[in-house]
Amino acid sequence: MDRRIREFLEYIELERGHSQLTIRNYNAYLTKFAEFAKENGVTSVKEIDLEIIKKWRLHLHRRNLGAKTLNYYMIAIRSFLKYLAKTDVKSLAAEKIELAETPEREIEFLEKKEVGRIFKSCSGNDLMELRNRAILEVLFSTGTRVSELVNLDVEQVNLDRCEFSVLGKGGKRRVVFLSEEARDALRKYLEKRPDTDKAVFIRVLTVRKEDQEKETQRLTTRQVERIVQGAAKKAGVVKKVTPHTLRHSFSTDLLRGGADLRSLQTLLGHANITTTQVYTHVTDEHLKEVHHRFHNKKEEDEDNF
């Protein structure tokens, strides 16, 4: 079983292009399952059956894991079993493993006024303020993930065409688009920079120039998270605001403006349309308001005849 797991991890890295974080997580989930299986007399993938899966699920449940976390373990096993079937290795059919029902996902997003206040909180002209404003504008304008943002290089950005390409999950590349405001913010920031670092978003250091070359300039995801949270706090926004909140806000704004789900799916880099459909729930109230205004107007027009 250990050998098959190792082969599976190599497969999802080389053939499927999964990120190192995903590979680490799958390795952790499957290694723990393999250890549990061996303790229960299951040492070969051919011996995996519904009984050992039931015992494993019960073991995880008794550790007080939530339904969502428990599903992560089950998804890892299902992916592993699908790989075994693909390589003609006899084992349990993946579709026989069911996932636990989870509460409907809640999407936190910002209204346009809140986004505007956050932008205004970074209105200075020094390099750090220009950088932070550019980060906020780009996140909201493109809907990029924070991991995609920090890996962005200057040579990838076409300010004339207001677009750039990002490498998303699964090694899939897509093009995203900048609003005029985001383009202008990004241009001001890049023109202010005195360095030649290839990364778009870098740390603003106060050390000597000769020492900066020894430092890693590119911002980390955690540093960007702190920048976003700090801007929201400064703007007086009481909601919990993260880079992903801006991604949700981007999606909601597009749907409210009339964008279709398929287009949004492409812009977000979702592999499956069902992932994108979560945003339809947050726009239901907006659609209700539109219907209400239209319906009331119709009744008023009839009263005027």
Q: pLDDT, tens digit, for every residue of 76-92?
A: 999 999 999 999 999 99
Do the domain assignments include residue 236? Answer: yes
Do the domain assignments include residue 67? Answer: yes
Average pLDDT over residues 135-159: 95
d(CA 128, CA 6): 44
169 an active-site residue? yes
Pair (83, 137) in one structural domain: no
145 an active-site residue? yes
298 an active-site residue? no
Q: What strands lie across the sheet with 163-167, from one edge to the other? A: 157-158, 163-167, 173-177
Classify 115 in phi/psi space as left (phi over 0), alpha (psi -120 to 50) or beta.
Answer: alpha
Selected catalytic residue, list 4, 18, 131, 247: 247
Pair (20, 130) in one structural domain: no
Domain span at 142: 112-288
User: Is the CB of residue 105 less than 8 Å from the CB of residue 112?
Assistant: no
d(CA 77, CA 63): 18
Last residue of a domain, one of 28, 62, 96: 96
Pair (278, 135) in one structural domain: yes
Pair (133, 61) in one structural domain: no
Selected catalytic residue, list 32, 46, 117, 169: 169
Mean residue pLDDT across the chain? 88
Convert the pLDDT of each residue in 152-198 to its tens digit. 999 999 999 999 999 887 778 899 999 999 999 999 999 999 888 99
* 282 vs 172, higher pLDDT: 172
pLDDT of residue 53: 96
Give the CA dihedral 128, 134, 137, 140, nearest 10 degrees: -90
Do the domain assignments include residue 45? Answer: yes
Q: Is the pLDDT of residue 40 over 60?
A: yes
Point out the least confidently predicted range of 117-126, 135-144, 225-234, 286-295: 286-295
Pair (130, 236) in one structural domain: yes
Pair (77, 117) in one structural domain: no
The encoded tokens of residue 122 equal 């970074």
11 an active-site residue? no
Average pLDDT over residues 44-60: 95
Closest Cα to residue 109, out of 287, 284, 279, 289? Answer: 279
Do the domain assignments include residue 225? Answer: yes
Q: Is the pLDDT of residue 36 over 50?
A: yes
Domain count, the chain: 2
Q: Is the pLDDT of residue 139 over 80?
A: yes
What pTM, to 2 d.p., does this model score?
0.68
Pair (171, 44) in one structural domain: no
Altogether, the residues listed in the chain come to a count of: 305
Do the domain assignments include residue 303? Answer: no
Pair (120, 89) in one structural domain: no
Selected catalytic residue, list 4, 145, 183, 248: 145
* 6 vs 171, higher pLDDT: 6
Pair (118, 47) in one structural domain: no
Pair (41, 117) in one structural domain: no
Give the CATH number of the domain where residue 29 resides: 1.10.150.130
244 an active-site residue? yes
Selected catalytic residue, list 187, 192, 244, 256: 244
Pair (246, 196) in one structural domain: yes
Give the CATH number of the domain where residue 159 resides: 1.10.443.10
